[in-house]
Amino acid sequence: MGNKASFPVVPTSQDRIVMVTGANCGIGYEIAKWTAMMGATVILACRSEEKARAAIEKMEKEFTEEKARGTSKLTERARLAIEFMKVDLGSFKSVDHFCEEYKKSGRPLHVLVCNAGIASIPFMKNEDGLEMILQVNYLSHFLITAKLLPTMKRSGVDCRIIFVSSTAEKLASFDKESINYTGSARNYPVHSCYNRSKLYQVMQMFAMSRRLTGTNITVNSLHPGIVETEIWRYSNSWMTRCLLFFARCFCVTRTPINGATCAIDLAVNPEHTGVSGHFWKDCKMTSTSRLSRNEEKQEALWNASFNFVNEYLTMEEINCMEGENRNI
């Protein structure tokens, strides 16, 4: 691959379970496909069963083609170990039900990739009364990590949480009093809301990594680049159209597999065992904004985030997130 970032193909046991949100298309599709082709059991956490089933069929076809191409170290099984589980990140009730169903299965969870996201959408408020970008990109993933953290703590060594964020976090501001946009649709600052959601993911990564020091779980986040995926499907603002136009002109947009490379590397690379609390780009650690590294603001966000989701959490889940009962 020349100087391009790449990931190792690491033969993986089917007992190792990887969960990817938004895995039916784009970056999530490639993360799910490649970790499954290495042998892991992969949970496609998606809203649409129809799209997820179609994605699974496509993955199986591409798996057969990849083996025929002679790609080494892929699983020797005839079919991939991939499953669909329904979750709508625009609804806390759906997220809660999804997590409870997974916990009832009694299975471990080794890698959680918080990938699903939306950008440049018309103003939407959901059933929880929250601005949609905030909920889908950040708060629902906060809730998923909180509810599944006890399971991950019981899942053995080398468990990993990965947030697919963005360097757009460097364009964001922070005010704990206005985390949820409550203004009018006419004045909706869609790009600011997106940037802030990515800032919150990075800040959550730092805060979680501190609390999970010395446990079996690492937490990292990454920038995938400007990737040509369905995240732009609602892009009707002049700012978004200009961004994509110039990105394409200067050949800086990426294909989904190129955008997924860093996340796949963080999910499977043995060299990253025990490595936590970092932001990555092109499979290398890189710096984040001074704002994102401000511990006082991280803690303010952390506490405010619990206020949005507390009713869906047990004391065990809250204690796990706070770093108590470190090895339950």
Supply the residues annotated as catalytic: 194
Q: How many CB atoms lie within 10 A of CB 130?
A: 22
* CA atoms within a 13 Å half-sphere pointing along the CA-CB vector of 226: 15
For the record, the structure tokens of 269 come out as: 């690379």
Indicate the residue type of 294.
Answer: N
Indicate the residue type of 169.
Answer: E
Cβ contacts of residue 157 below 8 Å, gap of 6+? 216
Report which of 215, 237, 168 is spatially closest to residue 320, judged by C-alpha positions.
215
SS3 293: coil
Q: Are the beta carbons of 172 and 199 closer than 8 angstroms?
A: yes
Q: How many CB atoms lie within 10 A of CB 311?
A: 8
